[in-house]
Structure 1
Amino acid sequence: MSKETGSRLPLSGYTILDLSVMTAGPVGTMLLGDMGADVIKVEEPARGDLARDLGNQFVHGESVQFMSQNRNKRSLRLDLKSPQGHDVFLRMAQTADVIVENFRPGTVDRLGIGYEAVRAINPRIIYASASAFGQTGPYAAWPANDPIVQAVAGLMDMTGEPEGLPVRLGAPLPDFGAAAMMALGITAALLHRERTGAGQRLDTSLLGASLFSTIPRDGEAIRSGKAPSRLGSGHPTMVPYRNYQGSDGKYFFAACFTEKFWRNLCQVLNRADLLTDARFIDNTRRTENREQLDAILEEIFATQPASHWVQVLSQADVPSAAVQDYHTALTADLQIKHIGAVLHLDHPVAGPLTNLANPINFHGSPTQVRHPPPVLGQHSAEVLRQFGFSQEEIDGLTSQGVVRGSRLDDAAVHDEAKGR
């Protein structure tokens, strides 16, 4: 069990050994860390999590990508490939509550730290795996990441303009879907253990999470016998439901997903005739005749700026919003500021940084940021002491290179951080 404070948090007292790298696993464990779990990020000693070297944005050598998805964790640099490192991990696993990994299937078993090895010494363990395609099957061993899964799941094929090429989603939806499902599975498994005393293994995949995220496209595709067409910002079964352009060249989205909203739109546009037009009499007809209706609406919307239409439609109770860029959304949108979606943290090396907040609001036990994203190996000795290792043992493991500290141990880095 964790020795951390913060007992009012939902997952306080649970310890997670986090072996995961990149995005899906780390985001899932970050969600759990926000809720109070003591997440110990076990990293290979040379470079750590692969995300520490990815991308092209670094602050004083710290990866922006890594820092976005690893708060509320402590970092332990441990060589799992060495016999001593293997023994250290299993000793920690004896009292841990959860282990998370997202390596290729079979990797943890080859290291001797898979579910069966841990269960033999800790039958109450919750062992969670997240992989690209699942633990077994014809694709299980394929090298893959988020866009590869988007391609296999059909997400890429249904995204883009009608006459254009398949397009990768702008955000890594498979990664985040798997992260959320894994976090949900772990919390449910912990509840099951509280009731029964039994641990268990669970696994999820980016592929499974991606397919699940396509609801209700699944039913439509099976029933129609064909894949959804690429419709740009449009919708396969609802019209009008897409981006439109104002006279200023800017875009806004209008979403008439009920007949009430369609009636409100026609009334505010002073086009009551459209309500009785046989081509548009209901959503089925509008979908069949989307090109004719869109041509009418495009002509109307081209007469005023996008901001005018957003105001007019919103006041008429028609769902609409300006299409704003991501930077504007994060830094200037009033509602995003109001809900506290952007956190401001202080990193020991990178200095001030922003993170996206946990989107779950616990009114009785709100989430907390107890640790900024860790520097590689920042908490190695601290974590081992927590698990009962003596200073002599820690010194021995460190001298053998099985365990390593962080660059914060270097006084020059301390000085750089203080003087930034």
Structure 2
Amino acid sequence: MSTALLLKGVRVIELCWVWSGPLVGQLLADLGAEVIKVEWYKRFDLYRTRGVERLTGKVPERIRREMSQSFHGLNRNKTGVTLDLKDPVHRDALIDLARKSDLVIENFTYGTIDRLGAGYDALSAANPAIVLLSLAGFGSTSRLADMRAYGLALSSLSGVEAKVVDPRTGGFLGSPTFVASDPNAACYGLIAAIAGVLEARRTGRGSHIEVSQLEAAAHVSDDDDKDIAAIGESLGSGGELPAGSSRVVPTGDAQHLCVALSAGTSDADFERVRASATTLPADLAIAAFEGIGAKAIRVIEQPLEFGAGSALSGTLIPTVHPMTGAENIVAAPWWVDGSRAPLRKTAPTLGEGNAYVLGTLLGWKPEQYESLEAQAMKSSDAGRP
């Protein structure tokens, strides 16, 4: 087995959907942990249909819910099981699985997992060494604790988006097109989860770790230009910061350049070259910017990344998904003893691992787990907690 699988032997139950929680699961799985993702046929991860919303009604739903490349990347190396956590039998199965596991991660709204009967008290009664990581939007102590939240709301309330300003005027430019709070919260959660498992292995005692995604986002938005300027002044480098050190400039051949300005580049020189760059091909525009001490590089579209060296460095991993065929997913950004985290399996199709999890691990008979999807389709309950 590859030495890159540092968490081999750790079993994780993932009760998460969308991005923040599943990203914790992805990183743990990439590090070698066995991650079992729990979904239900009428309450599956919303990311299963990310990017394929317009195919609703055009392809069978059983196929559409397996087509999202976003889901495939975020859930590679995981095993999937289907359990309806509102069903007492299925909830008991989850508790039984926790007896054989090290870590449970969930990103429900605060209080949901307790209402389902699978909170920390129930889990630790079954397994005193279990660690529960709760990635709630606001955390249990917030006055907004009961509010459902997605990343855009959290990054707005945390102050992250207030940093998206015009460097010349200081005016707010608007919301970014990406959600900063989800991957940020996942990194904080990952560190805490691994620490919790290490402590449980050492002492035999588990813990309930809560991460407020709002506070995690606020933590990284705390630095202010004035604070940084004050540090610079105390170090003797002066207290003035440039209005902005980079620009995006169009060229005459319909390309764009990202231009990084050196401390000695004057505004007049930049404006002169910027004006001429709009009439020049990209190669000549790059040379012109370098002539005034700046650095410029092409801004490339995603399809062009394949020719930009990323595939050669192993950033993209070729895989074959059983529903969508050949595709590339982005590798984990680390090497262990010179080895990338290996791709051991593709993202699970819904219910794919029922025979292993329910049959092999929990001892269910085939007739019990093979009929789960048919039972779900007969039920009128949407299954959302």
Q: What TM-score, normalized to structure 1?
A: 0.74
How far off is 1:316 after superposition?
9.3
The answer as to 2:353 corresponding to 1:379 is yes
State the AA in 2 paired with 1:150: S
Alignment match, 1:333? 308
Alignment of 1:84-95 (within 5 A): 84-95=89-100
State the secondary structure of the residue aligned to 2:135.
strand
| Pair 1:113–1:177, CA change in 2 (3 A) | same
- 1:216 deviates by 3.4
In structure 1, the residue corresponding to 2:336 is in which secondary structure? coil
Q: Tell me, which stretches of 5 or more residues in structure 1 are unaligned?
A: 224-234, 267-273, 275-289, 406-420
AA partner of residue 33 (structure 1): A
Measured after TM superposition, the shift of residue 16 of structure 1 is: 0.4
Q: Cα deviations across residues 251-310 of structure 1 (Å, max 9, x unaligned)?
A: 222224xxxx434xx5xxxxxxx5xxxxxxxxxxxxxxx6x6753453464564333343
Paired letter, 1:384: L
Amino acid at match of 1:332: G
1:183 & 1:316 partners in 2: Cα distance? Answer: 44
**Contact 1:244 1:254 (C-alpha < 8 Å) held by counterparts:** yes
The root-mean-square deviation of aligned C-alpha atoms, in Å, is 3.4
Take 2:291 and 2:332, find their aligned partners in 1: how far apart are those partners? 31
Task: Measure, in 1, the Cα distance between the counterparts of 2:178 and 2:372.
Answer: 42
Residue aligning to 1:200? 207
Matched position secondary structure for 1:63: coil
* Residue 106 in structure 1 maps to residue 111 in structure 2: yes
2:137 aligned with 1:132, yes or no? yes
Q: Tell me: CA distance 1:372–1:102, structure 2 relative to 1, closer, same or farther (3 Å).
A: same
Change (3 A) 1:251 1:16: same
1:360-379 to structure 2, matched below 5 A, reads: 360-363=334-337, 366-379=340-353
In structure 2, what residue type is equivalent to 1:93?
A: A
- Cα distance per residue 1:67-97 (max 9 Å; x no partner): 2311111110111111111111111101201
| 2:47 corresponds to 1:51 | yes
Q: Deviations over 1:194-214 (max 9, x none)?
A: 444332222223323323333
Q: Unmatched 5+ residue regions in structure 2? A: 231-239, 378-385
The question of 1:121 aligning with 2:117 is answered: no
Matched, 1:66 2:71: yes
State the alpha-carbon separation in 1 of the partners of residues 374 and 96 from structure 2: 14
Does the C-alpha gap of structure 1 residues 175 and 307 become closer, same or farther in structure 2, counting only changes over 3 Å?
farther
SS of equivalent residue, structure 1 residue 134: coil
* 1:298 has 2:298 as partner: no
SS of residue in 2 equivalent to 1:135 = coil
Residue number in structure 2 paired with 1:227: none
Alpha carbons of 1:216 and 1:361: their partners in 2 closer, same or farther (altered >3 Å)?
A: farther
Work out whether residues 273 and 288 of structure 2, in 8 Å CA contact, stay in contact via their aligned partners in 1. Answer: no
Structure-2 change in CA distance of 1:365 and 1:201 (3 Å): farther
Q: Which residue does the alignment assign to 1:191? A: 198
> How many angstroms apart in 2 are the aligned matches of 1:187 and 1:239?
38
Shift of 1:154: 2.7
Q: Structure 1 residues 140, 327: CA separation in 2 closer, same or farther (over 3 Å shift)?
A: farther
Match in the other structure for 1:262 = 263
Matched, 1:351 2:347: no
Q: Could you tell me how far 1:99 is from its partner in structure 2? A: 0.3
Aligned pairs (5 A) from 1:203-214: 203-214=210-221
The secondary structure found in structure 2 opposite 1:207 is helix
1:21 aligns with 2:28: no
Q: Is the 8 A contact 1:380 1:403 kept in 2?
A: no
Relative to 1, partners in 2 of residues 1:404 and 1:16: Cα closer, same or farther, differing over 3 Å?
Answer: farther
- More deviation, 189-198/89-98: 189-198
- Compared with structure 1, are the counterparts of its residues 398 and 337 closer, same or farther at alpha carbon in structure 2 (3 Å cutoff)? closer
Q: Name the residue aligned to 1:416.
A: none
Instruction: Please state how far the C-alpha of 1:127 moved relative to its aligned partner.
Output: 0.9
Alignment of 1:33-48 (within 5 A): 33-48=29-44
* Alpha-carbon distance in 1 for matches of 2:303, 2:241: 29
Out of 357, 363, 371, the position equivalent to 1:389 is 363
Alignment match, 2:235: none
Alignment equivalent of 2:28, drawn from 29, 32, 40: 32
Give 1:176's aligned residue: 183
Mapping for residues 209-248 of structure 1, pairs under 5 Å: 209-214=216-221, 216-217=223-224, 220=227, 237=242, 239-248=244-253
Separation in 2, partners of 1:249, 1:125: 56
Amino acid at match of 2:180: L
Offset of residue 247 of structure 1: 4.2
Separation of aligned partners in 1, 2:295 and 2:130: 47
Query: 2-side partners of 1:237 and 1:28: how far apart?
Result: 37
Paired AA for residue 83 in structure 2: L
Task: Give the AA of the match of 1:351.
Answer: G
My pick for the range that moved more, 209-218 or 171-180, is: 209-218
Aligned length: 358
- The letter of the residue matching 1:340 is G
Aligned AA for 2:344?
A: R
One-letter amino acid matched to 1:211: A
CA distance in structure 2 between the aligned counterparts of 1:184 and 1:153, rounded to whole angstroms: 21
Structure 1 position 318, deviation (Å): 4.9
Q: 1:145-156 counterparts in 2 under 5 A?
A: 145-156=150-161
SS in structure 1 opposite 2:80? strand
Aligned equivalent of 1:76, options 68, 75, 81: 81
Q: Distance in 2 between matches of 1:72 and 1:44?
A: 19
* Larger deviation, residues 161-170 vs 58-67: 161-170
1:344/1:213 CA distance change after superposition, 3 Å: farther
One-letter amino acid of the counterpart of residue 395, structure 1: E
Residues 134, 237 of structure 1: alpha-carbon distance in 2 compared, 3 angstrom cutoff: farther
Q: How many angstroms does 1:173 deviate by?
A: 2.0
Distance 1:201 1:236 in 2: 43
